A and B are shown apart, each in its own frame.
Chain A
Amino acid sequence: MEGLTKAYPGVVANSDVSFKIRPGEVHALLGENGAGKSTLVKMIYGLVKPDAGRMSLRGQDYAPAEPSVARSLGVAMVFQHFSLFDALSVAENVALGMENPPKLRELAARIRKVSQDYGLPLDPDRMVGDLSAGERQRVEIVRCLLQDPKLLIMDEPTSVLTPQEVDILFQTLRQLAREGTAILYISHKLEEIRSLCDEATILRRGKVVATCTPREKTARELAELMVGTMLTPPERSAKPKGEVALEVAGLSVASPIPFGTTLKNVTFTVRKGEVLGIAGVAGNGQDELLLALNGELRTSPSAVKIAGVPVGAAGPIQRRKAGMVSAPEERLGHAAAPDMSLVENALLSGSVRKGLTRSGFIDWAGARRFAEGIVQQFDVRTPGTDVAARSLSGGNLQKFVVGRELSQAPTVIVINQPTWGVDAAAAASIRQAIIDRAADGAAVVVISQDLDELLEIADSFAALNEGRLTAPRPTQGLTMDQIGLMMGGAHGMEVAHAEA
């Protein structure tokens, strides 16, 4: 790999981006959501064609027309999501990512060998739908390794891993780099980049704003380069907590989602003014827990109690009346109706607590005031309240959805992934709003895969692992190791590493 240079004047996603990676180097590509990282790597992988500029690979001109060309030239990519097939086996998934795959039986043997060599044990015959997030990623990595890549692109690989799994991933990547593979590592997690990467290119709004050696910078300096402004961490109040507002006892319920996780005996309480953070790798029961809490999944009445009143068998509307609001992870289609306007979306969840319907008729003026209030108070960037929810960017819609729930004077708040896919400035304001509501006396449950977020806002901390919830512990004084163990450690990895 001699260098990789490209320039794209005039394109929105990337403009005039240039950088180089040497063989054996781990190069970080840093940037906020929407900074153009994904577009850039899609161009390298041949999914998108650049409008201008050129790339070279090992000194030769490189212009992949499609991914198969990129693959045959030794460029491999581990995707953030979207690239595995749940109903196919591991071996079949690997075969799909290869140019000339051998017979499946032979391939299975090679998968076993490569995965053992790199300490990433995998059973080629298992269905991908049954694997944990960490194991799925191993499938992706092994798929790349089998092609003996010269350049390996990793797009936000750690967002779904436990800290232990991250460690193992980093060992693998360092081993690869020692063997001479160039690695392009995309992330917005600064500590990871500081510990792993040799060089970093920082993108902001499609432009390179800085190139630096991450080890010589603090995480704070990197973050400010990335965002372009100073960040202030949210302030927490130290008020004493009130009485128990939400009580969940022995909640067990089967998942309605295919390949979902059954909740097993989930038990916790949240006091007024307390923020409970629930961590866990994706697919360990987070979605099911949210459904069970907000009333989409019914259970026995006493499994969920709001302020001592059993509501386990009640639906979402009754639970809203009792003071509980919730914001699910999926913004389009679950938290908001994509093709309805913001006013209508505000009405849909706010009508109960804000009294927006009178004897079956809608109070449109009130709904509009409610929506406009949310837009103003939560700084939702939108041309107006009559635009469809679909047309808002992810971060703005998330601010709207969270704002809508927080504005209903709730006593219990349940939020899944409050800042997923939201840029740092918006994330900070959402977190601050959650903390403010808790300070006003609401009991808050935040389910998130972002550990830093939970540590920042939660008073107590619990983790979901295969549908079981650990006992909540005070957040203060928790170490990363303890958190990792609560999240279930690295699934099935310890043995292989003891051998290696």
Chain B
Amino acid sequence: MDLGGINPAVLIASLMVASVPIMLAALGELVVEKAGVLNLGVEGMMIIGAVMGFAVAVNTGSPLAGFLGGAAGGAILSLIFALLTQYLLANQVATGLALTLFGLGLSSLIGQGYVGIRPPLTGAVPLGPLADIPVVGRILFRHDWMVYGSLVMVAATWAVLKFTRIGLILRAVGENHEAAHALGYKVRRIRVLAICFGGAMAGLGGAYISLIRVPQWTDGITSGAGWIALAIVVFASWKPWRVLLGAYLFGGITVLQLNLQAAGARIPVEYLSMSPYLITILVLVIMSSGRGRIAAAAPASLGKNFHASR
């Protein structure tokens, strides 16, 4: 069954794939923001993850090593951010923006020798007969392991934040760092760990783009996915399950516009390719228009530097 040249089952299946990078990056950023840190360098960490993951995978021939390399790349870049904002108390917004620009530049430097190479393939998880179920099998059971892994990460992030002590401490630090310090929690250490986790997740998301979704290396391969991830965190009101929803929504729009282009819709290509970003802006405006609702959901110490002076 085709609707205007688009098969819904294929569309949904590719939507799940398309949303993995932004979902991973947004989950990481959600944890970072829950700890009270605003890291706008997601795009930079993603693209470093993309190029590092690609380079490691090509050189070792193992996609798994590639993903680990991507996560490590993102985490290392995020440590620069952690050093600047948590120890040198630099402004978080400016540092995050600088991190993005630095990441974009560094990635094209590293990636010079890798243009035009194909990375080792990551196959679908063999789910046997499940994959042969009509429609549902096509949609749900023919994906690579990262798709399932990202869903597990959503559940894990939710559970850790909600049910564990470390999650509670993390939220407490993001809510009121003065109080957390007064109770004897190591605000700075917790934030550095959160930033590092956010960097690793963004790196994973980036590696997914270069290793599976595209799969090859070109400059600027993430093309704004990091910014969409940042928007999804706000869209999700800092709740992990809503990150899933947001990622599917934006992943869906991206896939839909590609499909519409392929199906030869009579809309200029430029409008279609700007649509995910336009809808990002629209959603943020609508979400923020309810007075103070966004502000009430945000961690209260978000973006504020902490210095234990007393």
Contact = CB atoms under 8 A, between A and B. Distances in A.
Interface of A: 42, 46-48, 66-68, 71, 79, 82-88, 92, 95-97, 101, 256, 258-259
B183 A86 contact: no
A46 B184 contact: yes
Interface string B283-297: 000000000100110
Contact of B175 (A47, A67, A71, A86): A86
Nearest to B177: A82
Contacts of B172: 85, 88, 92, 96
Interface in B180-223: 180-185
Given A68-B184, A83-B183, A258-B296, A88 B171 contact: yes
A86 B174 CA distance: 11
Contacts of A95: 165, 168
B192 to A, nearest CB: 18
A394 B184 CA distance: 26
Contacts of B169: 96
Interface of B: 165, 168-169, 171-172, 175-176, 178-185, 292, 295-296, 299-300, 310
A48 B300 CA distance: 25
A83 B179 contact: yes
A258 B292 contact: yes
Given A46-B184, A82-B178, 4 more contacts: A47-B184, A48-B310, A83-B183, A258-B295
Contacts of A96: 168-169, 172, 180, 183, 185
B295 A82 contact: no
The 5 closest A-B pairs by CB, nearest first: A67-B184, A85-B175, A83-B179, A82-B178, A258-B296
Given A95-B168, A256-B292, A258-B292, A87 B299 contact: yes
Contact of A97 (B181, B183, B310): B183
A342 B172 CA distance: 37
A95 B176 CA distance: 15
A449 to B, nearest CB: 20
Contacts of A46: 184
Nearest to B168: A92
A67 B183 contact: yes
B169 to A, nearest CB: 7
B179 A82 contact: yes
B300 A86 contact: yes
B169, B175, B181, B184 pick with most chain A CB within 10 angstroms:
B184
19 contacts: A42-B310, A48-B310, A67-B183, A68-B184, A71-B184, A79-B179, A82-B178, A84-B176, A84-B179, A85-B172, A86-B176, A87-B171, A87-B299, A92-B171, A95-B168, A96-B169, A96-B172, A96-B180, A97-B183
Contacts of A83: 179, 182-183
Nearest to B185: A96
A87 B300 contact: yes
A82 B176 CA distance: 8
A247 B28 CA distance: 54
B171, B175, B178 pick with most chain A CB within 10 angstroms:
B175
Contacts of B168: 88, 92, 95-96
Given A42-B310, A67-B183, A96-B183, A85 B295 contact: no
Nearest to B293: A258
A59 to B, nearest CB: 25
B303 to A, nearest CB: 15
A407 to B, nearest CB: 33
Contact of A79 (B182, B185, B299): B182
A372 to B, nearest CB: 31
A101 B165 contact: yes
A336 B215 CA distance: 56
Nearest to A48: B310
B295 A87 contact: no
Contacts of B180: 85, 96
A328 to B, nearest CB: 20
Contacts of B299: 87
A42 B183 CA distance: 11
B160 to A, nearest CB: 14
A86 B172 CA distance: 9
A297 to B, nearest CB: 13
B306 to A, nearest CB: 12
Contacts of A87: 171, 175, 299-300
Contacts of A84: 176, 179
Nearest to A260: B292
Nearest to B171: A88
A85 B179 contact: yes
Nearest to A79: B182
B289 to A, nearest CB: 15
B182, B183, B295 pick with most chain A CB within 10 angstroms:
B183
Contacts of B176: 82, 84-86
A295 to B, nearest CB: 20
A97 B169 CA distance: 10
Nearest to B292: A258
A46 B175 CA distance: 22
A79 B165 CA distance: 22
A339 B287 CA distance: 34
Contacts of B184: 46-47, 66-68, 71
Nearest to A129: B296
Nearest to A103: B163
Contacts of B185: 96
A256 B169 CA distance: 29
